[in-house]
Amino acid sequence: MTEKIGVLGTKSPQRTDVERVVNAPLPTVYGKFQAVGYMDHERGDEQVALVYGEIGSDDVLVRLHSECLTGDAFGSQHCECGDQLAHALRAVVAEGSGVVVYLRGHEGRGIGLLAKLRAMALQAEGLDTVEANLALGLPVDARDYGVAARILEDLGVKSVRLMSNNPRKREALVRHGIQVAEQVPLLIPPCDDNITYLRTKRERLDHHLPHLDAVAHWS
């Protein structure tokens, strides 16, 4: 049986000191958003929420998107991150309102860009994404979602329909005081280059990826 990996602690979350700094219109290929910029004074990260339409407070369609330079900017097929970001932006526009919180400092599930590239090199040698992090002496998942919860609170959001396949992301938001009315699947068709990575996320990190059953014959 494949070992499951626990990645989030159970201690009570600490409140994060987040300040709204700027609100600017941001026309994109997906639609016209408002880019709301924040400073996370605790970690020193600059954060941004892309807000579309009049979002209200309850059951807001939301994506918490972890920064992924290789996927989001370079179109890497090692992961599905870039496609998930594009899908989420299209989804909130189609919905008529919603929020995509782009979480900087989350690169490589929180280990940073260079460490992520080192882990990718180990994966090319045969380790899976969990084994690679552990081989480097790094946590499997170091992400914290306190800043995301504070941003949503600042935007007046009390409950969300969360676009995510990761149940731990839902658990983290609830611990930080944001209710999750629904978890909306964000399923991207796999390719030869990411099928092993996606299987590891399902088998060891508990991501809900039922669409992988249709490609179970892939090596």
CA 81 to chain centroid, in Å, comes to 8
Among residues 83, 141, 144, 199, which one is catalytic?
Answer: 141
Choice among 118, 143, 199, 204 that is catalytic: 143
Contact (CB, 8 A) for 116 and 108: yes
Cα–Cα dist 92/86, whole Å: 10
Instruction: Transcribe 62-107 into DSSP letters.
Output: EEEEE--IIIIIT--SSSSHHHHHHHHHHHHHHHT-EEEEEETT-H
Sequence-ordered list of residues with C-beta below 8 angstroms from that of 84, at least 6 positions apart, any chain = 63, 65, 186, 188
Residue 141 annotated in active site: yes
Report the first-to-last Cα separation within the chain, whole angstroms: 18
Active site residue 17: no
Q: Is 167 helix (H, G, I), strand (E, B) or coil?
A: helix
Going edge to edge, which strands form the sheet with 18-27? 18-27, 32-40, 45-52, 98-103, 60-66, 159-163, 179-184
DSSP 3-state of 126: coil
Q: 10 Å Cβ neighbour count for 165?
A: 23
Helix (H) or strand (E) holding 34: strand 32-40
The residues carrying an active-site annotation are 141, 143
